[in-house]
Amino acid sequence: MNGPSELSSFSGTKVGVVGLGKMGWHFAKRLHDAGAEVFIHSRSRGKATDLEALGLIYCKTPQDLARKIKSGFIVICVTDTVAVEQVICGDQGLLLSMNPETLVIDMGTTQVMNTRVLAGRVDHVGAGYLDAPVSGGAVGAENGTLSIMVGGSETDFRRALPLFNVLGENINHVGSLGAGQIAKTANQMIVAMTIDAVAEALTLASRAGADPAKVRNALLGGFADSRILELHGQRMIERNFEPGARATVQLKDVKQASELAKHYDLKLTGLETALTLWQKMVDDGLGDLDQAGFINAVEKTIDNNNQTKG
């Protein structure tokens, strides 16, 4: 686990964090604890209250935050591509007051083509840009154990590496701008399809007369083992669907993967099947459940099919 000492080389550096959800809140706190002077912005002011009490500085708009960062970093962690575009290019966006020596780092999951366009807009004012989406969830964000997939120039990556070392452990420079988002797209494809596989396997085990908890334990450590089987599989067995990551977010990511595949004229059957299943889950009113709640959608589909046959 990384600690505050990782940032000692630039303690006092100004860092802005835009977006204080389950990930961004922890980003801001870890960077503050590591010695950075942290400026924060969120559309919901209430999310900033506890951080302000710790000494982080709230800014009313992204533009106001950009004024404060002269040669430091601005980390963006918001919900989707539209939100990132608004933060950067909106009426009160970063571009209106961005200093040329700033390095913007998008750590959310953003569409690849839009990432490259936004990077071009930032480059036009002389600032740098990295796309650096993460995997590991809110627990990884709190503990500084995230996997971080980075796209952008080698120079900008090296400049941001001390910051990444505070936030994560498995840090990879994947390639040029957009490559980080491509890696995250691959990650989300695997997550979405593996959740489906685990949900269907545990449902089959149960319907066939075996204890799904014992089946899961038997599979751990074998070729079928995965973090999905370990964590989401346990949640499925416990029927614990309190959201860590909501199904609506997973659907958004699968849609982005599908759009990227279509852009390159690729027909990926597994991906399209996953998109259909996650869309159905959300359409059935289960979108606010944790991703593990996908087992409800599997069970509902099976029961509906049985009723149709009957």
Which residues are part of the catalytic machinery?
184
CB atoms within 10 A of CB 34: 25
Six-digit token pair at 112?
A: 């690849």
Q: For 52-64, what is the HEC assignment?
A: HHHCCEECCCHHH
Residue 22 CA to residue 211 CA, distance in Å, equals: 34
Torsion of CA 57, 58, 60, 61, to 10 degrees: 80
Which of 207, 187, 185 minimizes the C-alpha distance to 298?
207
Residue 155, SS3?
Answer: helix
In the 8-state DSSP scheme, what is residue 78? -
3-state helix vs strand vs coil in the chain, percent to 5: 60, 15, 25
Q: At what angle are helices 269-281 and 247-263 packed, to 10 degrees?
A: 150
Q: Residues 6 or more apart from 5 whose CB is under 8 A from it?
A: 34
Interhelix angle 24-33/154-167, nearest 10 degrees: 90
Bridge partners for 43 per DSSP: none
Q: Are strands 146-151 and 134-135 parallel, antiparallel or unpaired?
A: antiparallel
DSSP state letter for 152:
S
Distance between CA atoms of residues 209 and 220, nearest Å: 20
Residue type, 189: M
The single-letter DSSP state of residue 266 is -
In angstroms, rounded to a whole number, what is the distance separating the alpha carbons of residues 182 and 187?
9
